[in-house]
Structure 1
Amino acid sequence: MNDAPLATLLFPFERGLVDPPRDEDRVLFLGAPGGLLLPADFAGQLSAVQGFRPDYLALQQAGFAVSPEPQGESYDLALVLLGRHRRENELLLAQALRRTRPGALIAAACAKKDGGGSVRKRMAGLLPLEDHASKHHGVVFWLRRPESLEPGLVAELADGGDAADGFATAAGGFSDDGVDPGSALLVECLPDDLSGRVADFAAGWGYLSVAAAGRASDVKSIDLYEAHHASLEAARRNMAAGAPQMPVRFFWHDLLGEPVDERYDVILMNPPFHRSRAAEPDMGHGMIAAAAKALKPRGRLFLVANRQLPYEESLQKHFAAQGELRRDTVFKVLWARK
Structure 2
Amino acid sequence: MTAISSSPTSASQVLERNISQFNDKSVLVAGAIEDTYAIELAKVCNSVHVFTTYYSAYQALQQSDQIELDFGASFTPETPLEVDAVIVYLPKTKAEVDYLLANVVPQIKMGGILYLVGDNRGGIKSVDKQLTPYSSNKANKLDSARRCSLLALEISQACQPFQLDDWLTTYPCEVKGERLDIVSLPGVFSAKELDLGTRLLLENIAPLKGNALDIGCGAGVIGSFLLKQNPELKVEMTDVSALAVESAKLTLAKNGLNAHVFPSDVYSEVGQRYTTLVSNPPFHAGLNTNYGAVEQIIADAKQHLKIRGRLILVANKFLRYEPLFEKAFTHCELLTETTKFKLLSNYPD
| TM-score band w.r.t. shorter chain | 0.7 to 0.9
Residues 102-158 of structure 1 show CA distances to partners (whole Å, capped at 9, x for unaligned) of 232222223221111210243247622365114123333323333644x79x78xx9
Partners of 2:298 and 2:56 in 1: how far apart?
Answer: 18
Match of 1:251 in 2: 262
Q: Secondary structure at the match of 1:113?
A: coil
Partners of 2:158 and 2:295 in 1: how far apart?
Answer: 51
Alpha-carbon spacing, 1:243–1:300, altered in 2? closer, same or farther (3 Å): farther
Matches within 5 A, 1:182-193: 182-192=197-207
Partners of 2:109 and 2:190 in 1: how far apart?
Answer: 35
Match of 2:271 in 1: 261
Alpha-carbon spacing, 1:45–1:282, altered in 2? closer, same or farther (3 Å): closer
Contact 1:264 1:295 survives alignment (8 Å) = yes
Q: Secondary structure at the match of 1:47?
A: strand
Partners of 1:56 and 1:83 in 2: how far apart?
Answer: 16
Match of 1:163 in 2: 170
Q: Secondary structure at the match of 2:289?
A: coil
User: Is 1:206 the equivalent of 2:220?
Assistant: yes
TM-score (norm 2): 0.82
Q: Secondary structure at the match of 1:175?
A: coil
Alpha-carbon spacing, 1:141–1:267, altered in 2? closer, same or farther (3 Å): same
Match of 1:30 in 2: 30
Matches within 5 A, 1:1-338: 1=1, 5-9=11-15, 12-14=18-20, 19-22=21-24, 25-31=25-31, 32-36=33-37, 38=40, 42-63=44-65, 64-69=67-72, 70-72=75-77, 73-76=80-83, 77-124=85-132, 127-129=135-137, 131-133=139-141, 134-136=143-145, 137-146=147-156, 148-149=158-159, 161-165=168-172, 166-192=181-207, 194-219=208-233, 221-244=234-257, 246=258, 248-255=259-266, 258=268, 260-319=270-329, 322-336=332-346, 337-338=348-349
Alpha-carbon spacing, 1:288–1:132, altered in 2? closer, same or farther (3 Å): same
Alpha-carbon spacing, 1:314–1:214, altered in 2? closer, same or farther (3 Å): same
Instruction: For residue 287 of structure 1, report the CA deviation from its aligned partner.
Output: 0.4
Q: Secondary structure at the match of 1:233?
A: helix
Contact 1:227 1:252 survives alignment (8 Å) = yes
Q: Secondary structure at the match of 2:342?
A: strand
Alpha-carbon spacing, 1:8–1:92, altered in 2? closer, same or farther (3 Å): farther
TM-score (norm 1): 0.84
Q: Secondary structure at the match of 1:5?
A: helix
Q: Secondary structure at the match of 2:194?
A: coil
Alpha-carbon spacing, 1:40–1:186, altered in 2? closer, same or farther (3 Å): closer
Instruction: For residue 266 of structure 1, report the CA deviation from its aligned partner.
Output: 1.4
The aligned amino acid for 1:66 is: L
Contact 1:120 1:141 survives alignment (8 Å) = no
Alpha-carbon spacing, 1:59–1:34, altered in 2? closer, same or farther (3 Å): farther
Residues 8-56 of structure 1 show CA distances to partners (whole Å, capped at 9, x for unaligned) of 4555554xxxx4242xx53211124433154587312111111212222
Instruction: For residue 243 of structure 1, report the CA deviation from its aligned partner.
Output: 4.5
Q: Secondary structure at the match of 1:195?
A: coil
Alpha-carbon spacing, 1:129–1:4, altered in 2? closer, same or farther (3 Å): farther
Partners of 1:127 and 1:281 in 2: how far apart?
Answer: 40
Instruction: Choose 161-170 or 326-335, whichever is displaced more.
Output: 161-170
Residues 198-236 of structure 1 show CA distances to partners (whole Å, capped at 9, x for unaligned) of 1111111111001101112331x1111111111111000
Partners of 1:99 and 1:60 in 2: how far apart?
Answer: 22
Contact 1:4 1:83 survives alignment (8 Å) = no
Partners of 2:53 and 2:42 in 1: how far apart?
Answer: 26
Alpha-carbon spacing, 1:46–1:39, altered in 2? closer, same or farther (3 Å): closer
Partners of 1:307 and 1:100 in 2: how far apart?
Answer: 46
Instruction: For residue 75 of structure 1, report the CA deviation from its aligned partner.
Output: 2.4
Partners of 1:41 and 1:88 in 2: how far apart?
Answer: 29
Alpha-carbon spacing, 1:334–1:78, altered in 2? closer, same or farther (3 Å): same
The aligned amino acid for 1:205 is: A
| Paired-residue identity, % | 23
